[in-house]
Amino acid sequence: MNTHSLATRRVMKTVARRSAVEPLPVRLSDGSTPVVVALPEDTLGSVATRVNGFGGEANVFVAFPEKLTLIDFRVSKHEGETIEQLAQSTTSMAMYVDYLYLNPSRPSTITVDIGTDAIAPSVMNISYAF
């Protein structure tokens, strides 16, 4: 089984055990809670593309070997505005998580190559189940 499949299994076990106690932060208007699993070496651009496929909002779990990190990830279009670029779309998710922990009080805005801006206002570690 490849690394991404193993990470997905870890995340889904965690979500199944956690959902009743503490719901995931992103819930769509239809009641669903989309989940995207990312590895630390995945890029922000690839993750934003996957989140965009869910309609622009998802619970992104970054699966580190020793922990899972949950990001409330939202993609939105900002046409004609000047956006402060805080990260590149080629930035790894590991680097992005480190950045979010260093700047916990402000939302992070990035420009990605799919023509949108991704906003990730919160990040947290959660325990995962085996």
For residue 54, the SS3 value is: coil
User: Quick one: pLDDT at residue 53?
Assistant: 83
pLDDT at 130 over 50: no
**63 near 10, Cβ under 8 Å?**
yes
**Interatomic CA distance for residues 88 and 86, integer angstroms:** 7
Q: For residue 93, what pLDDT band results from cuts at 50, 70 and 90?
A: very high
Arithmetic mean of pLDDT, 88-113: 77
Q: Among 61-75, 88-102, 114-128, where is mean pLDDT lowest? A: 114-128
Exposed, middle or buried: residue 111 (CB in 10 Å: 0-12, 13-18, 19+)? buried
User: Quick one: pLDDT at residue 111?
Assistant: 58
DSSP β-ladder status, 35-38 and 57-63: parallel
User: Quick one: pLDDT at residue 110?
Assistant: 62
Q: Among 23-27, 68-72, 124-128, where is mean pLDDT lowest? A: 124-128
For the entire predicted model, the pTM comes to 0.77
Range 77-100 burial, b when 16+ CB lie within 10 A, else e: eeeeeeeeeebebebbbbbbbebb
User: Quick one: pLDDT at residue 63?
Assistant: 95
